[in-house]
Amino acid sequence: DTGVSQDPRHKITKRGQNVTFRCDPISEHNRLYWYRQTLGQGPEFLTYFQNEAQLEKSRLLSDRFSAERPKGSFSTLEIQRTEQGDSAMYLCASSLVVGAGTEAFFGQGTRLTVV
Amino acid sequence: AQTVTQSQPEMSVQEAETVTLSCTYDTSESDYYLFWYKQPPSRQMILVIRQEAYKQQNATENRFSVNFQKAAKSFSLKISDSQLGDAAMYFCAPVQGAQKLVFGQGTRLTINP
């Protein structure tokens, strides 16, 4: 399967713990995005990378959140000191941006539950 | 900031019938793209159809078509000959700035056999 893959698919953690999610984009895609989706809502933009550079972060991305994309390949999203409000589906998407209107390809997401 | 409104939280349609999902948005940009994405239960989001704002002709992809009214900032999705596999959450999403999608709240579509 050459689509976007995310790991783990599900994560249950206790409040206050740190968690890290991984996203492997489609090979050679230069853009990688992270979105957060809460139950019954549409995804909300968190951050995106152009190759290895993180070019934009949403106000939703508090200082407890950090994302990296070393070498412009896979990406990780870490949440420190998790809170119950962090419970959500975290979606990763990638695209090969050569112009406007490029399709983004999504992974199946990581569902985080903070207890 | 862009805002997107999908006023129909849920819709249902009989199999083989036609259904239209509505979407309105707000943007200050003159040229942009609009997307409809589909999110089936427990599966990843996939692109259904896209429209470039400067093109007046409405986009069509097989059974899926859009009614794009730029002045009204309206972008509805029509699904013809509905099939059971069309059951999903549908999200309208204009592209803002550097290709990041701004999603509406979604419409849950149920197909009745």
Summarised one tens digit per residue, pLDDT across range A26-49 is: 998 999 999 999 998 999 999 999
Q: How confident is the model at residue A87 (pLDDT cuts 50, 70, 90)?
A: very high
| pLDDT category of residue B103 using cuts at 50, 70 and 90 | very high
Tell me how many residue pairs between chain A and chain B have CB atoms under 8 A apart.
64
Cβ neighbors of B13 (< 8 A, separation 6 or more) are B19, B79, B82, B109, B110, B111, B112
Write the residue in A31, A42, A48 that is nearest to B103 by C-beta: A42
Which of A44, A102, A106 shows the shortest C-beta gap to B44?
A: A106
pLDDT bin (cut points 50, 70, 90) of residue B98 is: low
Tell me the mean pLDDT in the region A14-20: 98
Q: Which two tokens stand for residue A70?
A: 């070393």
Return the pLDDT at B9: 96
User: How far A6 CA lies from chain B's nearest CA (Å)?
Assistant: 11
Compute the CA torsion angle B12, B40, B102, B56 (nearest 10 deg).
-60
CB-CB neighbors (< 8 A) of A35 in chain B? 101, 103
Contacts of A91 (CB under 8 A, 6+ apart): A6, A34, A35, A36, A37, A43, A106, A107, A109, B45
Q: What is the SS3 assignment for chain A? A: CCCCEEECCEEEECCCCCEEEEEECCCCCCEEEEEEECCCCCCEEEEEEECCEEEEECCCCCCCEEEECHHHCCEEEEECCCCHHHCEEEEEEEECCCCCCCCCEECCCEEEEEC
Touching check for B103 and chain A: CB below 8 Å?
yes
Q: What pLDDT is attached to residue B99?
A: 73
Instruction: Output the six-digit token pair for A3.
Output: 């689509």
Q: How far is CA A58 from CA A54, A100, B51, B63, B103, in A?
A: 11, 21, 25, 36, 14
- Three-class DSSP labels, B53-89: CCCCCCCEECCEEEEEECCCCEEEEEECCCCHHHCEE
Where is pLDDT greater, at A101 or B77? B77
Chain A residues touching residue B68 (CB < 8 angstroms): none
Please tell me which residue of chain B has the smallest CA distance to A105.
B46
User: According to the model, what pLDDT value does residue A40 have?
Assistant: 87
